[in-house]
Amino acid sequence: MIINFNEMQEHKMPGMNHGTGEMSAKMFMDKQGKIIPCRIHKGGSIGMHKHETSDDINYVISGKGKAICDEQEEILDAGVCHVCKKGQAHSIINTGEDDLVIITVVVER
């Protein structure tokens, strides 16, 4: 199977999960999960939310940020992978001057 994100429209999402600012994302979704290339713009964040039914895997392509997962702060930069496992809560915050570019894979289980 090939998923061509080049053919998908990017959507802007203000205040994702009650976060701040705006992010832009493309999304592939089926019953097993989601694949989401996204950009959290400068000053933006994804608000704290719990993963009740899935693992959330976030690989950082570029930018700087931090994740807060079950009250633990994790520094994010290129090449780092943040994982929020089923049952955990997390938030992702862009702390840099540029977009925080992430590929998120949500695995339902």
Mean pLDDT of the chain: 97
How many percent of the chain have pLDDT more than 70? 100
pLDDT at 83: 98
Q: Which class would CATH give 12-108?
A: mainly beta
**How many Cα atoms within 13 Å fall on the side-chain side of residue 27?**
11
Distance linking the first and last C-alpha atoms of the chain: 21
Cα gap 18→2, rounded to integer Å: 32
Extents of the domains making up the chain: 12-108
Phi-psi domain of 43 (left: phi exceeds 0; alpha: psi -120 through 50; beta: other): left
Token duo for residue 4: 């061509």
pLDDT at 46: 97
Note if the pTM is more than 0.75: yes
What letter does residue 7 receive in the DSSP assignment?
G
Q: pLDDT tens digits for 5-21?
A: 999 999 999 999 999 99
Q: What is the pLDDT confidence band of residue 94, given thresholds at 50, 70 and 90?
A: very high
pLDDT at 86: 97
Q: pLDDT tens digits for 31-63?
A: 999 999 999 999 999 999 999 999 999 999 999
